[in-house]
């Protein structure tokens, strides 16, 4: 089946990170360690090594004020490293190369520069990398849970599309586009069909996630919105994080919230939960540390949160939940299997 493509995707190449950095020679790198130390002795020393850990705007401004030497900015790591590299590239005007080392989040394939201001996510600018480098060996060596987590930001098309249809029926937000909807459905079809690959975290799983992210990023940039892949599942996760101050692995909390919101939507929730279980995604309430009290409190403040943050129209705006429905939702998400019950020695 031919790939449905909307917009111009980032240039994605399968290369060795060591070769890419060797060719770059003069660079500033925003990195996580591990895995930076696993290759640092085999590449030229960077002009500056930035340890990426905090996306607060004030912290990023402080990083940039200390100078961004070299001819290239490289992001090497997970979402925080890639977003930090975006920010430094934007502030310095220098070429950006992104080298994701896990597939838990789509940050390397989006042009939006996301930061936090007083703990809240804000998007302040857009920037495209020269290329995104897929080093299968480095990604494959990462903990399996961090790569499996990547299904969350594709699986969210399931609830995101449902919410978008609801919004259109209510005359809210962005008008419907068949090309974006068809893209989301194709991504979901391929995701569900590849469950066994995510369980193993083989090269096919890594490629599928990277190419899905590539197509999602291109579509969001062209459409100037992300309605087909972001809806109530993301909003619930944002509200939970705001309430608790917790920062779970993004793809894992989104996988959990997609199961949850698909239940409230009446939108094939068993299929979504079964998929998450078959992929061995670490998304159970127990694994994520989601306590019943915080689960309930998130719903108590959820409508106010989405309105205050001016988030897109979704089921959150129309559903009237009560204790009985929240009890049923909590019981349903208990069916997400703790990873220890699937892989006692999971790494």
Percent of the chain, pLDDT > 70? 98
Over 60: is that where the pLDDT of 256 sits?
Answer: yes
Task: Map residue 14 onto helix, strand or coil.
Answer: strand
Q: What is the pLDDT of residue 343?
A: 63
Give long-range contacts, CB 8 A cutoff, 24+ apart: 270-274. Answer: 271/192, 272/155, 272/158, 273/332, 273/333, 273/335, 273/336
Mean pLDDT of 56-81: 94
Q: What is the pLDDT of residue 119?
A: 73
Over 70: is that where the pLDDT of 344 sits?
Answer: no
Across the chain, mean pLDDT equals 94
- What domains lie within the chain, and their CATH numbers? 12-140 (3.40.50.1970), 144-342 (1.20.1090.10)
Taken in order 253, 186, 201, 337, the sign of the CA dihedral is positive
pLDDT, tens digit, 9 for 90 and up, residues 174-186: 999 999 999 999 9
Q: What is the pTM of this model?
A: 0.91
Kind and range of the H or E element at 133? strand 131-134
Q: What is the pLDDT of residue 345?
A: 45
26 Cβ contact list (under 8 Å, min separation 6): 44, 47, 69, 70, 71, 72
Mean pLDDT of 144-154: 95
pLDDT, tens digit, 9 for 90 and up, residues 275-289: 999 999 999 999 999
| Cβ burial 268-283 (10 Å sphere, 16+ → b, else e) | ebeebbbbbbebbbbb
Q: Using pLDDT thresholds of 50, 70 and 90, give the confidence band for residue 342.
A: low
- Work out the angle at residue 312's Cα, subtended by the Cα atoms of residues 126 and 123, and round it to the nearest 5 degrees: 20
Alpha-carbon gap, residue 182 to 276, rounded angstroms? 22
- Residue among 141, 207, 161 at smallest CA distance from 314: 161
Q: How far is CA 197 from CA 29, 207, 300, in A?
A: 31, 10, 38
Taken in order 142, 148, 152, 153, the sign of the CA dihedral is positive
Q: What is the pLDDT of residue 154?
A: 97
Task: Map residue 99 onto helix, strand or coil.
Answer: strand
Q: Using pLDDT thresholds of 50, 70 and 90, give the confidence band for residue 203.
A: very high
Q: Using pLDDT thresholds of 50, 70 and 90, give the confidence band for residue 122.
A: confident
């Amino acid at each position: 089946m031919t790939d449905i493509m909307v917009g111009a995707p980032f240039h994605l190449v399968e290369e060795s990170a060591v070769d890419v950095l060797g060719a770059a020679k003069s660079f500033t790198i925003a990195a996580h360690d591990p895995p930076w130390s696993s290759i640092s002795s085999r590449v030229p020393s960077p002009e500056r090594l930035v340890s990426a850990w905090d996306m607060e705007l004030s912290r990023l401004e402080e990083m940039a004020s200390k100078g961004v030497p070299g001819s290239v900015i490289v992001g090497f790591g997970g979402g925080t490293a890639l977003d930090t590299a975006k920010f430094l590239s934007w502030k310095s005007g220098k070429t950006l190369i992104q080298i994701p080392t896990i597939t838990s989040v789509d940050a390397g394939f989006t042009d939006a520069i996301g930061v936090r201001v007083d703990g809240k996510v804000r998007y302040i600018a857009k920037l495209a990398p020269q290329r995104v480098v897929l080093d299968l060996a480095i990604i494959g060596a990462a903990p399996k849970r961090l790569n499996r987590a990547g299904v969350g930001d594709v699986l969210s098309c399931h609830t995101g599309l449902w919410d978008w249809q609801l919004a259109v029926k209510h005359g809210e937000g962005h008008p419907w586009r068949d090309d974006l909807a068809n893209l989301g459905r194709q991504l979901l079809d391929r995701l569900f069909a590849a469950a066994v690959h995510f369980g193993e975290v083989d090269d096919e799983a890594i490629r599928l996630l990277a190419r899905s992210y590539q197509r999602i990023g291109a579509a969001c940039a062209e459409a100037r919105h992300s309605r087909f892949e972001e809806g109530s599942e993301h909003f619930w996760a944002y509200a939970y994080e705001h309430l608790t101050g917790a920062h779970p692995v993004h793809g894992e909390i989104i996988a959990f919230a997609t199961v949850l919101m698909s239940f409230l939507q009446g939108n094939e929730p068993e299929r979504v939960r079964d998929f998450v279980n078959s992929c061995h995604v670490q998304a159970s309430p127990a694994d994520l540390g989601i306590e019943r009290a915080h689960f309930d409190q998130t719903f108590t403040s959820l409508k106010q949160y989405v309105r205050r943050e001016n988030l897109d129209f979704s089921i959150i705006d129309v559903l009237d939940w009560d204790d009985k429905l929240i009890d049923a939702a909590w019981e349903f998400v208990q069916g997400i299997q703790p990873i220890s019950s699937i892989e006692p020695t999971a790494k």
